[in-house]
Each structure stands twice: as structure tokens, then as C-alpha cells.
Amino acid sequence: MATSTTDTAQFVELVKGARHIAVLTGAGISTPSGIPDFRSPGGFYSDQRNSNVFDIASFRKDPSFFYDFARRFYPLLVAAKPNEVHEALAKWERAGKDVRIATQNIDDLHQRAGSTHVYPVHGTLATSTCLSCGQRIETRLLEADVLSGFIPRCDCGGVFKPDITFFGELLPDRVWEGAKEAMSEANLVVVLGTSLVVYPAAALPDFRPSGAPLVIVNREPTGLDRQADVVVRGDLGVVMDRVSRLV
Ligand code: ZN
């Protein structure tokens, strides 16, 4: 896919000039790490049988449906490694910029790349919480149970649910506030790998101050392209790697 050099050059200049950068990332940045995009055509949700895997009422009734899915999905997440996009954002932070990342992704690849201000607005798979007593535990400690076909349970007998936001649950409040604040304090907002169709996350760039430029890098057109100062179409890894070397 062709990438315009002019747009990339403008992107580089904006990053160089910005002290506070707020980033919104979506599935498109994790697919190169081997994590499937559930919403893509032909993806997970296009199969009707999967439509309520992430539904909280269904989970409470029978968590085995979710954990049958998790048995296939958890190993992909554990094996996934941060790619050029995650690395580039971590590098900006190491270079002294205030980089705050709101992500729709439930993996922890930003954190593993070294970014420290990450707001997972749809929750995270990194931890799980007992639905009965509220005990929180690292999900990787439950992985052996999940892979052996067990439903992971707490000492109290309750079922562990990953801290992903399921349909029917509220978004994590503090995380959402942090993401909004990151946008409202930014001198540059960068959207990476999301078509901006899932609300309320897609509305986050609207919280940027007037005058803060908006850059969108995505394979497909997005609903905010018209408002953006720079739109770069192309392979995210290639674009971010190039930008990263020039910044
Ligand atoms: Zn418990």
C-alpha cells in the first residue's frame, strides 16, 4: 500500500513540535502482533455463535462459553509481542515527551513496549477479578486452568472474569477520565489503527483543545478524516517506523 511521503513528513514535524501527545489506538495496531481484529469482516463477530461471548449476562449465566473461546484466544495474547507501532510510542516517551495512550485494545502490548501512561478504555485482559469477592489476580496465573478446560475459580468459590469490559458493563470510570484528560491536555492527538466506529472511544479525539492538530493513520478511511490535519493511509508498522526514525 502506497504511503505519501508528504503526509509522513508533516506527521514527523507535528510530533517533533509537540510536548504533550495523546494517542488513541485500536485493533489495527495489534493485528501485526498476531491478535485478531474481532470486528473485521470475516472476523470473530461475523459468526453469530460468537456474538455473546463478551456479554456479561451470558457470562454470569454460564462462563464456560467464554472460557471455551479463551482457551483458543489466551495463547495468542501470551505469545504476542509489541511491534514497531508500540515501540515507536514508547520511544517518544523515552525521548522526553508526555505520551498518553488511550487504547481500545485489551492486550497489554503498550505497557510491555515500555509506555507508562496507558488507558485501556475497554478494560484489560492482564488482570481478572472474582465475581463473588472481588479479589483481583494476574490473568496469566489462571492460564493453566483455562488451557486445561477448567473455569478458573477463586479460593472463595467464585468465578474469575477477565477485566475486559463486556457488553452490558460500564467502561472503567477512572481509566475513561484519564483518557479524556489526556486528550484535553494534548498539543497533538494521533489516532492509530482504528476506524473510529466504536463509541464512546471514537469520540475521544473530540476532547482535544481547539488548535491541537489531529493526525490519523489507518488502513481504511475513518469518520474523522475530514477533521484531521494529516491523514496517512498505509501500513502502520511502516509509517510508524519511518516517523520514529525521523523524529
Ligand atoms: Zn472470590
Q: Name the catalytic one among 86, 110, 117, 122.
A: 122
Give 13-65 pLDDT, tens digit per residue. Answer: 999 999 999 999 999 999 999 887 766 655 666 566 667 788 999 999 999 99
Contact by Cβ (8 Å): 189, 24: yes
Angle between helices 84-94 and 236-246 (to 10 degrees): 20
The pLDDT value recorded for residue 45 is 61
Q: Which residues contact 80 (CB under 8 A, 6 or more apart)?
A: 30, 33, 34, 35, 107, 109
How far apart (Å, rounded) are the C-alpha atoms in residues 201 and 180? 10
How far apart (Å, rounded) are the C-alpha atoms in residues 94 and 114? 9
122: annotated active-site residue: yes
pTM as predicted = 0.91
How far apart (Å, rounded) are the C-alpha atoms in residues 181 and 142? 33
The pLDDT value recorded for residue 29 is 95
Contact by Cβ (8 Å): 163, 123: yes
How far apart (Å, rounded) are the C-alpha atoms in residues 184 and 64? 41
Q: 166 CA to middle of ligand 1, Å?
A: 19
The pLDDT value recorded for residue 1 is 46
Q: 226 CA to middle of ligand 1, Å?
A: 49
Q: 153 CA to middle of ligand 1, Å?
A: 7
